[in-house]
Amino acid sequence: MISKVGIIGSGVMGQGIAQVFIRNNYETTMIDISEEILENAVKNIDSGKYGFINLVRKNVITEEQENSFMKNLKTSTNYSALNRCDLVIEAVPEILSLKMKVFENIEKNTDDSTIIASNTSGIMISEISRNVKNKSRVIGMHWFNPAPIMKLIELVKTSFTSAETVNLIIELSKKLGKDPAIVKDYPGFFTTNFVQSWISESLRLYEKGIASIDDIDKMARLGFGFPMGPFELMDTIGLDTVKDIGEYLYSETGNEKDMPSYLLKEMVYSGYTGNKNIKMNSKGGWHDIKK
């Protein structure tokens, strides 16, 4: 049974995932590299766009519930705080070497029965867990942004993930109000291949001058009923994350359509990494460069 959960990385996804667990009364420990980052994350979980304070304002939860949910959350800059966690979910930036190191640290600081999951958008789980000794407890748990709202969890099962691990995570996902889909370990899994093609093509057409950023987003929303357009989606995901994913997929597949465009790189290098309310030190995203 899973009752204590660790989350590594308190960025966009770590915050959303932590919020879902604490709202469902799981004891949750969030780890990051500095106290300042963790303080900002805790503040966002309570008072950010999808935070509890907004839910109190809308009468979805009471103030007592907000306080009790927040009490389920602990933070630390030390991996030893993962001690006795039944599940640890890694949500650090989409960089293979970093994720591999984080997985090794998780294994060092947990019992052999702890399930180790990655929220990677598309790096093969078998590659991230290459140095983990017990591979039966490793799984991909790919959440969607914003995690408190989106119902899907893409569960990535390697050939070595045990049936017990898969079943525990399916059961847990349902308890959290999510609806899991199972995929095999493959670069980009299903969802990231699907969405990255859409984003890359939109960027290519924008760079050709076919239409403006606003009009491309409008066409996707009003013409096809998507909840947001490709540029709005990039601002939400984080432009740096979109770039990292594209570089990884290109390195694995050699498919040129996956290669991040120079315009996307220019945005990231200039500090435009997306939704500035959530990401620290971001200058904003596509909709901010026109101002």
Ligand X SMILES: NC(=O)c1ccc[n+]([C@@H]2O[C@H](COP(=O)([O-])OP(=O)(O)OC[C@H]3O[C@@H](n4cnc5c(N)ncnc54)[C@H](O)[C@@H]3O)[C@@H](O)[C@H]2O)c1
Identified binder of ligand X from the candidate list 33, 210, 263, 289, rule CB under 6 A: 33
Q: Which segments within the chain are labelled E, that is strand?
A: 4-8, 27-31, 73-76, 87-90, 115-118, 138-143, 152-157, 179-184
Rank residues 21 and 144 by Cβ distance to ligand X and give the closer one. Answer: 144
Please state the closest distance from residue 62 (CB atom) to ligand X, in A: 29
* Residue 8 makes contact with ligand X by CB under 6 A: yes
* Residue 237 makes contact with ligand X by CB under 6 A: yes
Contact code string over 58-97 relative to ligand X, x by CB under 6 A: ---------------------------------xxxx---
Please state the closest distance from residue 9 (CB atom) to ligand X, in A: 3
Residues ≥6 apart with Cβ < 8 Å to 43: none
* Residue 145 makes contact with ligand X by CB under 6 A: yes
CA-CA-CA-CA dihedral for 188, 253, 267, 36, to nearest 10: 50
How many residues touch ligand X under the rule CB under 6 A: the total is 27
Count of other CB atoms within 10 angstroms of residue 177: 11
Span interacting with ligand X, options 55-63, 139-147, 155-163, 177-185, rule CB under 6 A = 139-147
Rank residues 98 and 170 by Cβ distance to ligand X and give the closer one. Answer: 98
Q: Which two tokens stand for residue 252?
A: 């694995």
Cα separation, 160 vs 158, in Å, equals 5
What does the DSSP 8-state code read for residue 232? H
* Residue 7 makes contact with ligand X by CB under 6 A: no
Cα separation, 142 vs 149, in Å, equals 14
Identified binder of ligand X from the candidate list 22, 102, 138, 195, rule CB under 6 A: 102
Residues ≥6 apart with Cβ < 8 Å to 29: 4, 5, 6, 7, 74, 75, 76, 81, 82, 85
Identified binder of ligand X from the candidate list 7, 22, 31, 106, rule CB under 6 A: 31
* Residue 10 makes contact with ligand X by CB under 6 A: yes
Cα separation, 103 vs 118, in Å, equals 9
Rank residues 145 and 161 by Cβ distance to ligand X and give the closer one. Answer: 145
Identified binder of ligand X from the candidate list 18, 19, 29, 32, rule CB under 6 A: 32
Contacts with ligand X by CB under 6 A lie at 8-14, 31-33, 37, 91-94, 98, 102, 119-121, 143-145, 237-238, 241, 279
